[in-house]
Amino acid sequence: MIKVGLTGGYASGKSFVAEEFERLGCHLIYADRLGHEVLRPAAEAYAPVVKAFGQGILDESGAIDRKKLGNLVFGSAELLAQLTAIVHPAVFRLEEQLLSKYECVDPKGIVVVEAAILIETGRYRLFDKLVVVVCDRETQIARALKRDHLTREEVLARLEKQLPPEKKLEYADYVVDTSGAKADTAGQVKAIYNRLRELAENEVK
């Protein structure tokens, strides 16, 4: 099985690229969705997060309100680090469970893990190949404005907090540039998939 990391900056087009890989037959794991899973009641990170941040982050049903939690921690580097220290290990364990499952059921398969901060956390080292998604800055800003209904200043502030695209590219085995039409992006993904397919077929004799 070939394990592939998929990453890129804010509003760079990662989700579309991930969907194309899945459409071509790859197993897909979204790290952000795992982050949601581990915060569900009775899941691994639920009790530690409630203990750390209090009952005020819960909604009427007793579930963690991610918006309330976000408002609490994202203004404080210390609180954000505290949350990350709880959530990330739980996400990584769930990710490893899924990778093991896919390896058992599909030893010649390709598993793609989509995550925004694979490089920043050092997780990229665990993958056989790393795909980095990029686009030109104005396209990135326009997508963020349309999708998240933020001001230009808010979008720029988010971009400034991220690892610059040129730094991410230093780690890339493959690059997908989503600046153009979706058909062009899909063609780039198909070419990468074909190479990965060859690797996966040759890995298991």
For residue range 129-164, list pLDDT tens digits in order. Answer: 999 999 999 999 999 998 988 889 988 888 888 889
Provide, rounded to the nearest whole percent, the portion of the chain with pLDDT above 70: 99
For residue range 14-72, list pLDDT tens digits in order. Answer: 999 999 999 999 999 999 999 999 999 999 999 999 999 999 999 999 999 998 998 88
Question: 189 is in which domain, residue-wise?
Answer: 1-26+110-205
Residues 137 and 175 placed together within one structural domain of the fold: yes
In whole angstroms, what is the distance from residue 110 CA to residue 113 CA?
Answer: 10
Q: What is the CA radius of gyration of the chain?
A: 18
Residues 80 and 152 placed together within one structural domain of the fold: no
Record the tokens describing residue 199, joined without a space.
């690797």
Residues 22 and 114 placed together within one structural domain of the fold: yes
Q: Are 164 and 180 in contact (CB under 8 A)?
A: no
End of a domain among 49, 80, 108?
108
Residues 185 and 124 placed together within one structural domain of the fold: yes
Residues 16 and 38 placed together within one structural domain of the fold: no
Record the tokens describing residue 161, joined without a space.
């907090």
Whole-number pLDDT of residue 75: 73
Residues 99 and 179 placed together within one structural domain of the fold: no
Residues 203 and 185 placed together within one structural domain of the fold: yes
What is the tally of structural domains in the chain? 2
Residues 45 and 89 placed together within one structural domain of the fold: yes
The residue assigned the tokens 């505290």 is: 82
End of a domain among 108, 134, 167?
108
When pLDDT is cut at 50, 70 and 90, the band that residue 204 belongs to is low
Q: Is the pLDDT of residue 202 over 90?
A: no
End of a domain among 69, 84, 108?
108
Residues 80 and 114 placed together within one structural domain of the fold: no
Nearest partner of 26 among 196, 171, 204, 203, judged by Cα: 196
DSSP characters over the chain: -EEEEEEE-TTSSHHHHHHHHHHTT-EEEEHHHHHHHTTSTTSTTHHHHHHHH-GGGB-TTS-B-HHHHHHHHTT-HHHHHHHHHHHHHHHHHHHHHHHHHHHHH-TT-EEEEE-TTHHHHTGGGGSSEEEEEE--HHHHHHHHHHHH---HHHHHHHHHTSPPHHHHHTT-SEEEE-SS-HHHHHHHHHHHHHHHHHHHHHH--
Residues 157 and 200 placed together within one structural domain of the fold: yes
Q: Are 22 and 16 in contact (CB under 8 A)?
A: no
Residues 37 and 72 placed together within one structural domain of the fold: yes
CATH code (residue 96):
3.40.50.300
